[in-house]
A and B are shown apart, each in its own frame.
Chain A
């Protein structure tokens, strides 16, 4: 059977698939829609029983509460936002750079130890990062950087996942392209910046989103490596808001959730196509 919708023709099988996927997609989006709607609720709707799903009189009052009313507190909420943004920015910058630099020789050079190094990186994909939490803590402690931004950034710069994806993607670059650049007198450094990096834009766009989301949502590093309230990041601030559970803060809490959820989703929407292009090379042939 063929269904016509305007100038589109679809088979009934395709129609069923689309219908089923649409229902499932809508169902899976409900929690996110709720977060957005919840953040815009005026105080009377926040405490409505039974809880109303979609806001009726949207207001930005909660954001005002969160950003302005907390300004007089010991640590204004804007400080947590700054911490999160700053730490995520540094980690993304360093993480993408380190992974790209290391991926280049692994993908394109032939040197003794190359295979062994790659095996170690594959093995490290299987590490649960928390396993190394204690010795990491000792390293950070010995370096004397507990409770500083360094403690939130440095331990998270070497990301096996990032190196792996980047290396897989760089392998697609034709060797002839690199060779011809070298014949023209380019150094390895120039080849890397002028030839390789522009060709792997999808890969580093993917790493930017993966590292950003990982750092932005990470609760472990701030929990373990920071002590003072002013060094905490957003997830910890949220967790504190939850556990205080005070009625007066419900609006601020809803707004904070929105601030926490939105940046990763927006960023992903911007680079979605590139992420899929990168993932096409993510298979492990071992």
Chain B
């Protein structure tokens, strides 16, 4: 930053490449004119391609091979996928668990974070509430297990059992983290607690950007109730934030569920009742080292999340407005 003060005609020539003599080929011209822009992008792009884009391509290719890390990959066509869907009952179960988990927790979390943001936007003191609703999303699922294990403990002193028995809903303590009917719901409950933060902030900030003239105009047009206002003015104005929120939620739901499931139910969970697609992926990739098979699991996960993301993009597009 020492060269900050360098100015005058001398600096112009070296710093403004477009002033240099005409280059010959198209590529040279491109670099001379826009080289600086590409130079700024280069460091990010190197890591972006090496660790994200190329790996996606490699994962797709590996999913058509048998690969155990010891011998080179051997192409075997569709057989990983055939195995996954036709032979691997646990995989089918993991898809069912993950979809059930995501399609309930995702929409509930989005709706709740929007409503929270909307209510908080109505009042004047915001900071403390914003902190209370955001803080859970800053915590580690592994660390919070210390709390949830006590809350959902299977003996009569677990907070949940204690409360329900006191209120007379149940007579006997319930094994929340072992019973296959409640394992997944408990994981979903914890996810909801943790998941509202980021989108809550996105929506809270978004609410402050809605053009206030729209509300004035709405009053003239006969919109009286705050809920009508929310439905007809606020929500449509916030489409871009909604889109960002939905994409965040999709990624979170398909990845964070695994960590909670791992910390509360273990891997594998009893009877695979809280088995997620990622649990299956982790199991095959890094415990059994069946990389080709695991890659096929990854590709299916990729198709699901990317598909939902694209759907959201279409649904919440603001291009024609």
Q: Which residues of A contact B (CB under 8 A)?
A: 14, 17-18, 20-22, 24-26, 28-29, 31-32, 34-35, 38, 49-51, 97-99, 101-102, 104-106, 109, 111-112, 114, 117, 120, 123-139, 154-158, 160, 163, 184-190, 192-194, 213, 216-217, 219, 223-224, 235, 238-239, 242, 253-254, 256-257, 260-261, 264-265, 268-269, 272-273, 275-280, 282-286
Contacts and interface: CB of A to CB of B under 8 A. Distances in A.
Given A21-B116, A131-B302, A254-B146, 20 more contacts: A29-B132, A35-B147, A50-B157, A102-B43, A105-B40, A114-B37, A126-B309, A131-B56, A132-B59, A132-B298, A133-B285, A135-B58, A186-B7, A188-B36, A242-B146, A265-B138, A269-B131, A283-B238, A285-B318, A285-B319
Nearest to A268: B138
Given A133-B285, A264-B138, A25 B47 contact: no
Contacts of B1: 190, 193-194
B191 to A, nearest CB: 13
B247 A127 contact: no
Given A154-B51, A260-B143, A282-B244, A138 B58 contact: yes
A35, A138, A156 — which one has the most chain B CB atoms within 10 A of its CB?
Answer: A138
Contact of A283 (B129, B144, B243): B243
A17 B48 contact: no
A interface: dominant SS: helix
B44 A98 contact: yes
B83 interface: no
B interface: dominant SS: helix
Interface of B: 1, 3-4, 6-8, 11-12, 15, 30, 33-34, 36-38, 40-41, 43-45, 47-48, 50-56, 58-59, 62, 116, 119-120, 122-123, 125, 127-136, 138-148, 150-151, 157, 159, 162, 193, 201-202, 204-206, 208-209, 238-241, 243-244, 247, 250-251, 254-255, 258-259, 262-263, 278, 281-282, 285-286, 291, 294-295, 298-299, 301-302, 305-306, 309-310, 313, 317-319
B250 A126 contact: yes
9 contacts: A102-B44, A105-B36, A117-B45, A127-B305, A131-B56, A134-B58, A238-B140, A257-B146, A280-B206
